[in-house]
Each structure stands twice: as C-alpha cells, then as structure tokens.
Amino acid sequence: MITTLEKKTSASMPPTSSITLKVNGATKQMEVEPWTTLLDALREHLDLTGTKKGCDHGQCGACTVLVDGKRINSCMTLAIMKDGAEVVTIEGLAKGDALHALQQAFVEHDAFQCGYCTPGQICSAVGLLSEGKAKTADDIRELMSGNLCRCGAYSNIVAAIQQAMGTATGAGEGRAKR
C-alpha cells in the first residue's frame, strides 16, 4: 500500500535532472536520476567503461577518477553533486598516441596482471603526484592504500609510481610490504 508520505515524495521528486560535466575535455550534458552515481553516469551514460566498478561501496578504489583535479571514488559520489565539474578518467590521460607518464611506467614495470584495478590505480596515482605529499615508497604505499589489487601487483605499482615521480631508487625500494 502506498502511504501519503510516499505519494508526496514521489510526486515532488523529479525523475531525472539535467547535468553538465566536462569529461576528458569535452562538455557532456546528460539526464540522470537523483541516485545515479558518477561512476554509473560515466559508464552507462557516456560509455566510458575504463573506470571500473569493483565493490561499489568505496572500499576498493577501482572507480577512482579525477574531479576538478582531485582523486575520488566515483561510486560514492552522486553525479548530480558534480554538475559543472571537470572530470578526467583513464580514457583522458593519454595525449593521442603518447601515453601519460604513469601509463608508460605501469607498462614498463609490468604493474598489472588482470588489469581490473589498473585504471583506478593510475588515476589515483595521478592525484597522488599532484598532491605532492608522497616522497618515499612507504608514502606511496600509505597514500595509495585506498586502491586494492586482488592480483597483488603492489610492488610493481609502487615502482611504476616512483618512476613517474622521478624518484626510482632501485629494485628493492619499490617492494611493497603487503
């Protein structure tokens, strides 16, 4: 049975809202439901499926993208909250055929196995570098701890990030502790 409150709520809630995002340099307008996450907006509305859905609960980092230059879990963010924001996904990092320095470093260090976590790892690492807080391998491990890798490629991920930071100090330094 539908209660009066439910009737009022459904009558007052707009089914969709129009939002505009600047995604990878292109302006995109879309109609989203109030509960549509940024992750689903990217994947389902814009077909940008490079950003992955892992846990969908803010615990794995597979969905990490950059919003106004900051890394966030897109599964924990409503698209409507980011109306007007600038979003960069894994698809927006390369410049033509030239890979982003972090993408290149991940390839050179074999920093992935199945690759499912990789877009989130790379976007998170882009955010990490721009934050400028990481100085050592331990810093990288700590500040990348929100990005899980089921394949356990952590040591190579740290080494790749160190290379991109320009601070690679040899094979032993990049070894992860977890």
Residues that bind ligand FES (CB under 6 A): 53-56, 58-63, 73, 75, 112-118, 149-151, 153
The residue among 113 and 167 lying less far from ligand FES, judged by its C-beta, is: 113
Which amino acid is it at 107?
A: V
Q: Which two tokens stand for residue 147?
A: 């990005």
The residue among 13 and 113 lying less far from ligand FES, judged by its C-beta, is: 113
Give me the least distance between CB of 99 and ligand FES, in Å please: 17
Give me the least distance between CB of 108 and ligand FES, in Å please: 15
The residue among 73 and 163 lying less far from ligand FES, judged by its C-beta, is: 73
The residue among 147 and 163 lying less far from ligand FES, judged by its C-beta, is: 147
Give me the least distance between CB of 125 and ligand FES, in Å please: 13
Give me the least distance between CB of 123 and ligand FES, in Å please: 12
3-state secondary structure 117-174: CHHHHHHHHHHHHHHCCCCCHHHHHHHCCCCCCCCCCHHHHHHHHHHHHCCCCCCCCC
Q: Report strand pairing: 17-23 vs 26-32.
A: antiparallel
3-class secondary-structure state, position 9:
helix
3-class secondary-structure state, position 79:
helix
Per the listing, tokens 């969908």 go with: 56
